[in-house]
Amino acid sequence: MRLCFLVEEHYRHDGMPVEVIRQLVAWGHRVDVLRPGGSLLRMSEVVSAGSHDAWVLKTVSGGPGLTLLEAAAAVGLTTVNDARSIRGVRDKALAAAIGRNRGLPMPTTYAAAVPELLAEIPESAFPLVVKPADGSAGRGVCLVPSPDRLAAMTGQLAGQGMLVAQPYVPNSGVDLKVYCVGGELYATERCSPLHPDHAVRERQVVLPAEVAAVAAQVGAVYGLDLYGVDVLLGPDGPVVVDVNDFPSFRQVPQAAARVARAVLELARTGRAGAPDVIPQAIIPEAVIPEQQPGAAV
């Protein structure tokens, strides 16, 4: 297979894209790597039909990576994930509009071009979580406890472009990060950046069936093949607060090989953006009961 990976400088040494590329090369595939953030791009010649079996995007939001991927899709190349699906989740305002409309359990979400507009949000929605619409990795996420604190926080919220604001979902301080790769769902527990004092060891956990169903629905709603979902266990059940295309897959066993296999499968079938299998939850090996001696296999 001939693949082209778009990798931002930010992820240059990151285990995820680097290990996946190494694995693909070790299996005998050709991988070209484009670093859109660090190179002058000759856009008029950058894509050509039939040049690769698939283009794969692992970049930060807001960079030129998605533009390149869209160019590849426009000339008929397979992209991982589907370029329109990536757009649908990288803008958190768009993701909320699509997700809520398609029945995902997501908080009511407001979008504001400038922080002053947040003052119009009803008092009953506070405490609010405010985050940049194109944010990632917890950047700029902050808790606004009450309307009267808003004015004092405007300076801190300004200059981040479009903001989204949601009522704070009461939770234990632990995020459930659900990863989908190759039709399998894995769950990891991680401390919420809004509760940094809540020391929880990051580890793979059993995925509750109710959360697995929501995570599977996320793939279908946005048309994503490789993705991550941040879920909070709120008082009324699981709530989706964030969806990521090509996440870290941290704690997923043999993540690089699994992601590499999934990329090859998508490149081979030329299909991206319309998962036709319902992803299944995978039980961490550590909690699979030991085989009893003499038990039937």
Ligand X SMILES: Nc1ncnc2c1ncn2[C@@H]1O[C@H](COP(=O)(O)OP(=O)(O)O)[C@@H](O)[C@H]1O
| Footprint of ligand X (CB under 6 A) | 107, 129, 131, 135-139, 141, 166, 168-169, 171, 175, 192-194, 230, 232, 241-242
d(CA 247, CA 218): 14
DSSP bridge partners of 72: none
Provide the phi-psi class of 159: left if phi over 0, else alpha when psi is between -120 and 50, else beta: left
Kindly state whether residue 242 participates in binding Mg ion, applying the rule CB under 5 A. yes
Separation of CA 268 from chain center: 23
CB of 109 to ligand X, least distance (A): 8
- Residue of 230, 250, 261, 284 that binds Mg ion (CB under 5 A): 230
CB of 138 to Mg ion, least distance (A): 7
Question: Which residues lie below 8 Å from residue 251, measured CB to CB, with a gap of 6+?
Answer: 186, 188, 202, 203, 204
CB of 222 to ligand X, least distance (A): 15
- Whichever of 51 and 136 has its CB closer to Mg ion, that residue is 136
Name the residue among 86, 89, 60, 66 with its Cα closest to residue 243.
89
Choose one: 2-10, 14-22, 204-212, 234-242; the region binding Mg ion (CB under 5 A). 234-242
CB of 228 to Mg ion, least distance (A): 8
- Whichever of 55 and 126 has its CB closer to ligand X, that residue is 126
Name the residue among 225, 224, 268, 219 with its Cα closest to residue 24.
268
- Whichever of 41 and 191 has its CB closer to ligand X, that residue is 191
Asked if omega into 127 is within 30° of 0 (cis), the reply is: yes
Centre a 10 Å sphere on the Cβ of residue 285 and count the other Cβ atoms it contains.
8
- Residue 169 binds: one of ligand X, Mg ion, none (C-beta under 5 to 8 A by kind): ligand X
- Residue 107 binds: one of ligand X, Mg ion, none (C-beta under 5 to 8 A by kind): ligand X
Task: Please identify which residue in the block is written with the tokens 């305002």.
Answer: 93
- Residue 131 binds: one of Mg ion, ligand X, none (C-beta under 5 to 8 A by kind): ligand X
Cβ pair 142, 118 in contact under 8 A: no
Choose one: 27-35, 57-65, 100-108, 240-248; the region binding Mg ion (CB under 5 A). 240-248
Cα-based distances in Å from 149 to 155, 159, 163, 205: 12, 18, 17, 37
- Residue 166 binds: one of ligand X, Mg ion, none (C-beta under 5 to 8 A by kind): ligand X
SS3 at position 109 = coil
CB of 151 to ligand X, least distance (A): 21
Sites of contact with Mg ion (CB under 5 A): 230, 242
